[in-house]
Amino acid sequence: MYVVIVGGGKVGLNLARELIRKRQEVTLVEGHRSAYLKIEQELEHAVQYGDGTELWVLERAGIARADLVVAVTGDDEDNILICQVAKEKYLCERIIARCNNPRNLTHFKLLGIQPAVSATDLILNLIEHEVPGHGLVHLLDLPDEKLEIIEVEVTEGAPAVGRTVADVELPDGSLIISVLPRGGGGFVPKGDTVINIGDEVLVVLDPGLEEDITSQFAPNGAGG
Amino acid sequence: MMVLIVGAGRVGSAVAKSSLAAGHTVSVLDEDPLSHERLDAGQAGQDISWEEAGGRFTVGTAIEIDALVAAGVEEADVFIAATRGDNTNILVAQVAKKRYGVERVIVRVLDPARSDWYAKQGLHTVCAVKLGIQMFEDAVAQNGSV
């Protein structure tokens, strides 16, 4: 596999190292001269100097035959445009972009730059999973399959409290797949399983139904 | 017509002032509050500010949706991306066009190669570098023939 990586910061350099260790062919492109000179001592011919958003730099790096282009600079607009030309001009089949500011994810989506990896979002998801009292947690997002799995903690006063799984009013396109009681121990629920305050409920759903589901289990938002 | 200009540098502020003088509604977005001074300077009637002359100015980063909306991207008929960064310009131009459906989007791109390619993709690019190269080449050719 031939991989072009743009951006020789911590992410890009370590990616290049690991891929080379796995015997993949890699070219790393770095636009700051001092960083380039430092990397060049280690990676030698596998690193090139230049602004990775310029077409001739990408062409020199062999983008036309790349199986994968990874854009991991510190600038989201650069990462978006690198991936856009990789995909649309050089017809590279696989791209991966780094999203530095999660508020820019909407731009990545708008221009079809997927997958966009946001370290902030990854860590935030972990925090929300670890820290109790955040009403809803995304456990799994599969945008291509249009499928999500969320976890929601049942709060006091929620319509679902005291009801059985069969009786909870959920929108079409959603299904309760597990009810985890507060005391621990998860199980696959049956139709007559009763939902109690503090239970964690796992629901599989079509994207966009989150609000209809939280209104049943945690109508006041975060539980804590 | 409502004209939104992102980037109040030499290019952006000059186009902003001429558009305002031509009778359009003009809104300018720039991340540097001081760039406002460039808009004030040389207003017709001398001592009046950009706002007094009827212009709008918003401080904000071009690629932030909130800033674009505050500057009026939803009402814009013409969108001009004229910051100093090619990549910022090309990105916000596509956001204006694809997300907000702005009818006329004009982008300043310094890099001739990408100016050409994005023009083929349907963006209205303006490349000052290309014009400059052409003028130099013409001047060289003229001198050579003397």
Q: Which residues of A touch B (CB under 8 A)?
A: 53-56, 75-78, 80-81, 85, 88-89, 103-104, 106-107, 110-111
Q: State chain A's mean pLDDT as an integer.
A: 90
Give domain limits for chain A. Answer: 2-118, 130-217
pLDDT score at A129: 65
Q: Are A116 and A91 in contact (CB under 8 A)?
A: no
Q: A85-99, A132-146, B131-145: which range is least confident on average?
A: A132-146
pTM for this structure? 0.78
Quick one: pLDDT at residue A224? 39
Segments making up each domain of chain B, as ranges:
2-145
First-last CA distance in chain A: 48
**Disruptive mutation site among B6, B31, B63, B123 for chain A (greatest number of A CBs within 10 Å):** B63
Tell me the sheet residues that pair with B116. Answer: none
Give the span between the Cα atoms of A129 and A123, in whole angstroms.
Answer: 10
Spatial contact of A207 and A150, defined as CB atoms under 8 Å apart: no
Q: Which residues contact B45 (CB under 8 A, 6 or more apart)?
A: B53
CATH of domain A130-217: 3.30.70.1450
What percentage of chain B reaches a pLDDT higher than 70?
A: 95
Give the range with max mean pLDDT: A6-10, A155-159, A213-217.
Answer: A6-10
pLDDT interval class at A215 (50, 70, 90) = confident
Mind listing the pLDDT tens digit for each residue in A101-129?
Answer: 999 999 999 999 999 999 988 888 777 66
The domain at B2-145 falls in which architecture? 3-Layer(aba) Sandwich (3.40)
Determine the average pLDDT of the residues in A200-221.
85
Q: What is the pLDDT of residues B55-83, one digit of tens each?
A: 999 999 999 999 999 999 999 999 999 99
- Residue-wise pLDDT tens digits, B78-127: 999 999 999 999 999 999 999 999 999 999 999 999 999 999 999 999 99
The tokens for A117 are 């990896």
- Chain B interface disruption, residue of A55, A87, A105, most B CBs within 10 A: A55
**Cis before A115? omega within 30:** yes
Question: Which fold is adopted by the domain A2-118?
Answer: Rossmann fold (3.40.50)
Res. B43: pLDDT tops 80 = no
- Give the 3-state secondary structure of residue A13: helix
- Euclidean distance between CA atoms A81 and A85, whole angstroms: 6
